[in-house]
Amino acid sequence: MNGGDRVAEVLARRGVPFLFTLCGGHISPILVAAKRRGIRVVDVRHEADAVFAADAVARMTGTPGVAVVTAGPGVTNTLTAIKNAQLAQSPVVLLGGATATLLKGRGALQDIDQLALLGPHVKEAVTVGAVRDLAPAVERAFETARSGVPGPVFVECPVDLLYDEALVRQWYGASATGGGLSGRALRFYLGRHADRLFRGADRRPPAPPVPASDPVPERSEVRRAAALFARAKRPVLVLGSQAMLRAREVGALAEAVAALGVPVYLAGGARGLLGAGHPLQMRHRRKEALKEADLVLLAGIPADFRLDYGRQVGRRTRLLSVNRSAADLTLNRKPELGVEADAGLFLADLVALGGDRGKGWAEWRETLRLRDAAREKEIDEQAKIPTEYVNPIHLC
């Protein structure tokens, strides 16, 4: 197995269905080995597309999406998409090619400081220095990308770690030309460096995947939340993208939301969770509802620009926030109860502890539904207004 095989073996063991790339010489062994193992290699037209596609796979499957890009401009082209994955808290593994370990900083093809560039925009950015460390680095990248607050991880894979050992030694041998003492010294140095690259490579086979551990809410926190809901007359639930991170459990999440019986506004990647026409889902005039509510639960969404930095929630409204990120729990607005946990697990525990209180909020739900219907009627009327060409509201 060459280095590309070792990387691809880790991907195969973790059930990666797709590998997104724009082919380059630095990374070809990974692509060849992945295809040989039945992983579909999708070659795109721009490296940003590769990361965007990996991000989409992560959101829909829960398995970290994987993109592989070549060194230098291949890595720099991913930056916008990597930042998007970081802000969206998507578990993405980015594998980047790099110049040979011995040539870094010497003006080699496409050699730049990639770790300094990617570091601020990923959970972790690492470079690999020996073949034996390739598989552990990629395994750790998967665990890091999924754990806690998910996000992208960058692993730099130098080209001389990915190709066959015989070929790499041939490269180094071709560099050691000349006779005399200096030639012998150079050949000795290059041979020793190659020995370090490949030493112990066969002693560390790829490890089996470790199950993801999602942050579980404390029982006492769930009890406090249940007590607040028991006293609430006008509660509102705002469900954000982070609640969808456990992609294989979205059915259970939808059941928990329905059982809770609270009027809900879906945001970001949570849109569509309840299907069309669900009686609990409200679509319009969210700002008014948050102002009038006596209890607001932000589940997997921070009080950022979408909520006017927390100002949409009334000052006298009791605020609950559930988020995997400790920073997002108190962003712009400190909640009465902040729970650092997975929002889906929290809602399931809340329903199990407090039962269905939906009957007590029927009048409040009806008020919000009537507002929704009135807004829909306004939109219908706007769609009927004649315009010079096609009325865009009518078209949509």
Q: Which two tokens stand for residue 365?
A: 């739900």
Q: Is the pLDDT of residue 356 over 60?
A: no
Angle ∠(25,191,126) on CA atoms, nearest 5: 50
pLDDT, average across residues 92-107:
88
pLDDT band at 175 (very low <50, low <70, confident <90, very high): low
pLDDT band at 107 (very low <50, low <70, confident <90, very high): confident
Alpha-carbon distances, residue 99 vs 72, 167, 317, 372 (angstroms)? 9, 15, 56, 58
Q: Which of 71, 18, 82 is nearest to 44 (CA)?
A: 18
Non-local (6+) Cβ contacts of 71 within 8 A are 24, 26, 96, 97, 98, 99, 109, 110, 111, 112, 114, 159
Q: Is the pLDDT of residue 61 over 70?
A: yes
What pLDDT shows up at residue 177?
A: 63
Q: Which of 61, 58, 112, 99 is nearest to 81 (CA)?
A: 58
Chain centroid to Cα 193, Å, comes to: 37
User: Which own/partner contact pairs does 305-311 have at CB distance under 8 Å and 24+ positions apart?
Assistant: 306/267, 307/238, 309/333
Q: Is the pLDDT of residue 80 over 80?
A: yes
pLDDT band at 311 (very low <50, low <70, confident <90, very high): very high
pLDDT band at 358 (very low <50, low <70, confident <90, very high): low
Residue 229 sits at φ, ψ, to 5 deg, of -65, -35
What pLDDT shows up at residue 366?
A: 95
What pLDDT shows up at residue 211?
A: 77
pLDDT, average across residues 252-279:
94
Chain centroid to Cα 231, Å, comes to: 36
Which three-class secondary structure state does DSSP give residue 142?
A: helix
